[in-house]
Amino acid sequence: MSKGDTAANTLQQHLQQLSDAFALRLQEELPALGQSAERLLQTADPQEQVQQLQSLRDQLHKLAGTAGTFGFSSLGQRARELELDADQWLHTLQQEQQGLQAFSHSLQLLAKQEFQSDPKQMPAPQKAPLTKPMQSTRRIYILEDQLAIGENMRQTLNNFGYQAEHFSRIAELDAALQQQLPDALIVDVNLPDESLTGLQYAAGLQERLAEPLPLLVITTQNDFATHLEAVRVGAMGFFTKPVDIPQLENRLERCFSQQQGEPYRVLVIDDDRELASRFSLILRGANMRVEMLYEPAEIFARMRDFNPEVILLDVNMPDCTGPELAQIIRMNDEWLRVPIIYLSAETDINRQMSALIKAGDDFVTKPISDNALVAAVFSRAQRARLLSNALSRDSLTGLLKHADIKEQAAVELERALRSGKPASVGMLDIDFFKKVNDNYGHAAGDNVIRALANLLRQRLRRIDSLGRYGGEEFLVVLPDCTAEQAWGVLDEIRQRFAELTFIASGSEFSVTLSAGVASTADTSNSASELLEKADQALYAAKHGGRNQVR
C-alpha cells in the first residue's frame, strides 16, 4: 500500500467517524423537530406561531445544508422541500399579521389623537398650518425603568416636537419595536428588574437590525468601562443622571443632522455627453444631485440657478478649455468657495500641474473607478459645505448669523411684495438671561441658548429661516404667514420653552422668553423698518411683564 493510499484511507476513516457522529445527532434532532411541528399546531398566539415557524424553517435549512455533506442526501432533499414550504407558510402568516397590525396601529393612532386634542385646543389659534407634517416628526423610544424619570423625559422631548414614547420594561419596548422602528433609542443602563443591562439589550438589538439605530445612553455609572461598552454598542451620546434633557436633545439633533444632510449638488461639465451621463449616473447612485452642462457659455446661468457645491470639469473641450473655464468661474467672488475638480485622460504630471496652477483644486484621471470618483467628489463636497456653514452659521446654535438672517428678512419681504402673500418676522429674547449666566455659569447659559435654537428648529417649518440675532436674541423669518399665525406659533414655542427644565450644578431651573411679531402686511417699506417694528413689539412684551408674545 502506498503512502498516498494510507493518507486517503485515514481521511475516509475520519469522514466515516464524523458521519457516524452526525447519525447519532440526527437521532436526537429529528424527534425534536417532530415535537416542534406538533407544538406549532397547538399554538394559538399568532405571533408565537410565526416565531416557531421561523425557527422550524431555520432548522430545516441547516439540515438541508448538512445532511448531504455526510451522505444523507435524500434526507437533505426532503428537508429542503419542507424548508420551502415553511417559508411560504411564514410569508402567508406574516402578511396576515401585518395587515392586522396595520389595522391595530391605525386604531391606536386614532385613540391617541383623540386623547391629545384636549390640551391643544387651549393655546395658540391658527397654528395648524405652521406645524410640521406628521411624517417629519422624529420618533424616539425611551427605555427607563424609573417611571418618573422616563415620563419626564418623554414630556420634555415632546415639548421639543419629537414623538417620544417611554417604556419601563424590555418586553414592552420589544413589542413596540416589532410594530415600528424609532428614529433613535434612549436606553438606561441599570435595569435591576431585568436579566440584561440596558447596554446588553441594546447590543443584541443592534445586531438584529440591518442598520444600527442612533443610540443614546443614560446611566448613574460614569466610569470608563461603561463609556467603552456604550461606544461598542454604537452609542452616540452618554448622559449621567440626573439627565440634562435639553443637552440630550441637542445631541439628538446633531445625530439627525449628520444622518440626513441634503444631497450634495454637483455640476458635471463635459462636451462628451455619454461620459457626462455616466459620471452623473454614478454620482446620483451615491445620493448626490447632479446636473450636466455641455455648453461652457451657459456657465453663468447654471451657476446661479443650480448653485453647485462641486464642479467636475473636463480639461479638453473644443471651444473653451477646462482651465480657461475654471479661471472664468474664479473671477467671480461668490463662486470662490466651489471646488473645481478636473477630469482628464491627461497623465502627464507637468500638464496637470500647469492646469492646477491656473485654477482648480484637484485632478482625477479618466478612466476612473466608480468608487474613486465618488470619493473624490464626496470629500470635496463635504468640506465645501462644512466651510460654507462655518462661515455663515453661528457656532453655538448652528443658526444663521446676524447679517445672514437680516439678509433673509429682506429677501422674504421682497418675495412677499411680489407674491402678495404676507410674511412675518419674530424677534425673540430670553428673559433675565444674565441671571442664568450669573447663577449657573456660562456653560448653563450656552445650554439654554442651544435649547431654544433646537426648539425653534423643531417647531418651525423648513421654509422658515432662523438666526441668532444677538447674544440671547433670535430672529425668525416666516414666509407666507400672517401676523396672527406667527403669533400663534411663537406663543406655542414660548409655552414649550417655559416648560423645559434645565439642570446645572445640581439644581434645576426654568427660563422664559419674550417675543415680538411684525408682518409685511403692516410695514412693507423696508426690511429694517420691519425689524424695527418687531423690536418695538418685543420691547412692549418685556415691559408688559415678560414671558409673552406681542
Q: Which residues of this chain interact with other proteins, rule CB under 8 A?
A: 7, 10-11, 14-15, 18, 21-22, 25, 58, 61-62, 64-70, 73, 76, 80, 83, 204, 207
Strand bridging mode 513-519 / 424-430: antiparallel
User: Residue 5 CB, nearest distance to other proteins (Å)?
Assistant: 13
Closest to other proteins by CB, 65 vs 99, is 65
Helix (H, G, I), strand (E, B) or coil at 151: helix
Closest to other proteins by CB, 362 vs 370, is 370
Closest to other proteins by CB, 77 vs 257, is 77
Our measurement of the distance from residue 547's CA atom to the centroid of its chain's CA atoms, rounded to an integer in Å, reads 33
Which residue type sits at 245? I
User: Residue 352 CB, nearest distance to other proteins (Å)?
Assistant: 27
Closest to other proteins by CB, 13 vs 507, is 13
User: Residue 371 CB, nearest distance to other proteins (Å)?
Assistant: 11
C-alpha angle 321-335-357 in degrees, rounded to nearest 5: 45
CA 130, 132, 133, 134 torsion: positive or negative? Answer: negative
From CA 254, how far away is CA 261, in angstroms rounded? Answer: 11
User: Residue 210 CB, nearest distance to other proteins (Å)?
Assistant: 9
Closest to other proteins by CB, 25 vs 337, is 25
> To which residue does cell 428614529 refer?
183
Tell me, what DSSP letter sits at residue 518? Answer: E
Closest to other proteins by CB, 71 vs 123, is 71
From CA 166, how far away is CA 149, in angstroms rounded? Answer: 10
User: Residue 142 CB, nearest distance to other proteins (Å)?
Assistant: 25
User: Residue 366 CB, nearest distance to other proteins (Å)?
Assistant: 22
**Residues 519/523/529/534 CA torsion (nearest 10 deg):** -30
Closest to other proteins by CB, 18 vs 391, is 18
From CA 26, how far away is CA 67, in angstroms rounded? Answer: 9
Our measurement of the distance from residue 467's CA atom to the centroid of its chain's CA atoms, rounded to an integer in Å, reads 22
User: Residue 70 CB, nearest distance to other proteins (Å)?
Assistant: 7
**What is the b/e burial string over 19-42, where b = at least 16 CB atoms within 10 angstroms of the residue's CB?**
eeebeeebeeeeeebeeeeeebee
478: nearest Cα among 126, 130, 127: 130
User: Residue 149 CB, nearest distance to other proteins (Å)?
Assistant: 31
Answer yes or no: are the C-beta atoms of 500 and 249 closer than 8 Å: no
Closest to other proteins by CB, 13 vs 365, is 13
Question: Where are any strands of DSSP class E within 101-227?
Answer: 139-143, 163-167, 184-188, 215-219
